[in-house]
Structure 1
Amino acid sequence: MIRVLGFAGSLRRASFNRSLLRAAQELAPEGLEIAAFDLAVVPLYNGDVEAEGDPEGVAAFKQAIREADGVLMVTPEYNHGVPGVMKNAVDWASRPPQSAALAGKPVGLIGASPGMTGSARGQSQLRQAFEFTNSYCMPQPELLVFRAHEKFDADGRLIDEPTAGYLRRYLEAFLEWTRRFTA
């Protein structure tokens, strides 16, 4: 069993990206288990706070990453870029650099947006951060859910069957990608 930690870069309970993470959990292929972590407990990064010891939410987040075989980041795109919530999570998980929780982890990126680019710019910016964290971001396939307001119902359920099919194929590829690093 490959165990992956998933988290959404939006704190809003009814966000499309939280809904996409739930859909990923439901559609995960056999052999892949996705646990969700809520980033609401991770405060803004502050070196002074870090020097006193990781806050409880940060310590739990880092431990969850360390225990996982891989990480699935589900990111929205705000103002043509990665949202602060997601970048903050990466910043905490990259500290301290010599023993970062993200070091050596396979990473998957997916995202949803009401816009036509489906979080492409946000995902692209996140990929740059993985050079520093020495994480292995899966290059292909990509999953960019555009016009997300048409793909989920009012309860946050993925109702668009083509998108569900793309998500299944993405998760199958991510399972194989993660296995490369756990052998």
Structure 2
Amino acid sequence: MSKIAVLVGSLRAGSLTRKLAERLTELAPDGMEFSFVEIGDLPFFNEDLDTDTPPAAWTRLREAIKAADGVLFVTPEYNRSVPAAIKNALDVGSRPYGASAWAGKPAGIVTASPSGIGGFGANHHLRQPLVFLNMPTMQQPEAYIGNLWGMFDEDGKIVTEGTEDFLKSWMAAYAKWVADHI
């Protein structure tokens, strides 16, 4: 059983990105166990706070990532990049220096946007720090989910034709990616 930490870049209650992340976990093949790691309560990284008793939220994040076999990032695009909450989580988890929780964790990235380009900028900006953090990141298939506002019905079911099949195949590829890298 592969343990996958899921980080969602949108902190909003009722987030469509979170709905997408939840649906992704439901479409995953057998053999994967998911835990959503909350990042909205993380104090911004400040090395002065990284003492023998760092903020409890930092410790929780670091332990959750260390316990995972892989990490799935599901994020919207804000201003052609990733939300600050995702970048902050990466910074917090990468410290203390030399003890990064991220190192070696196979990563998958799904970005989403109400526009047609599906978070292309966020997807590629996120890849940059993941390379530095030594996270093997799945390259293909890529997942840019556009037109997010019209994707779900009132019950959270995906209604856009072909999207659910694509997401299911993406999750199968990610499961293989994780298995090949743990």
Normalised-by-shorter TM-score class:
over 0.9
Cα offset, 1:89, TM superposition: 0.9
Q: Deviations over 1:11-61 (max 9, x none)?
A: 102112111111012111111122111212212111111235321111111
The 1:4–1:52 alpha-carbon spacing in structure 2 relative to 1, beyond 3 Å, is same
Number of equivalences:
182
**Matching residue of 2:71:** 71
**Identical columns (%):** 37
**2:29 aligns to what?**
29
Task: Name the CA distance, whole Å, in 1 between partners of 2:78 and 2:147.
Answer: 14
- Cα separation, 1, equivalents of 2:105 and 2:11: 24
Q: TM-score, normalised by structure 2?
A: 0.94
Structure 1 residue 130 and structure 2 residue 130: aligned? yes
Which runs of 4 or more aligned residues in structure 1 lie more than 4 Å from their structure 2 counterparts after TM superposition? none
Code of the aligned partner of 1:178: V
Distance in 2 of aligned mates of 1:68 and 1:175: 13
The CA deviation string for residues 156-175 of structure 1, in whole angstroms up to 9 with x for no partner, is 44333411111111110111
SS of the residue corresponding to residue 98 of structure 2 reads helix
In 2, Cα distance between equivalents of 1:40 and 1:155: 25
Query: Paired residue for 1:84?
Result: 84
How far off its partner does 1:155 sit?
4.8
Name 1:48's counterpart in structure 2. 48
Say which is worse superposed, 67-76 or 155-164, in terms of deviation.
155-164
* Residue segments in structure 2 that go unaligned for 5+ positions in a row: none
2:112–2:144 CA contact under 8 A, matched in 1 = yes
Structure with the bigger percentage of helix: 1
Q: Residue in 2 aligned with 1:101?
A: 101
For residues 159 and 51 of structure 2, the distance between their equivalents in structure 1, rounded to whole angstroms, comes to 46
SS of 2:131 mapped into structure 1: helix
The correspondence of residues 10-29 of structure 1 with structure 2, limited to 5 A, is 10-29=10-29
Gaps of 5+ in 1: none
SS of the residue 1:108 aligns to? strand
Is contact 1:25-1:35 (8 Å) kept?
no
What is residue 169 of structure 2 aligned with on the other side?
A: 169
Q: Determine if contact 1:4/1:68 at 8 Å carries over to the other structure.
A: yes
Q: Give the structure-1-normalised TM-score.
A: 0.94
Backbone CA RMSD of aligned residues: 1.4
Contact 1:153/1:159 (<8 A) preserved: yes
Tell me which amino acid in the other structure corresponds to 1:112: A
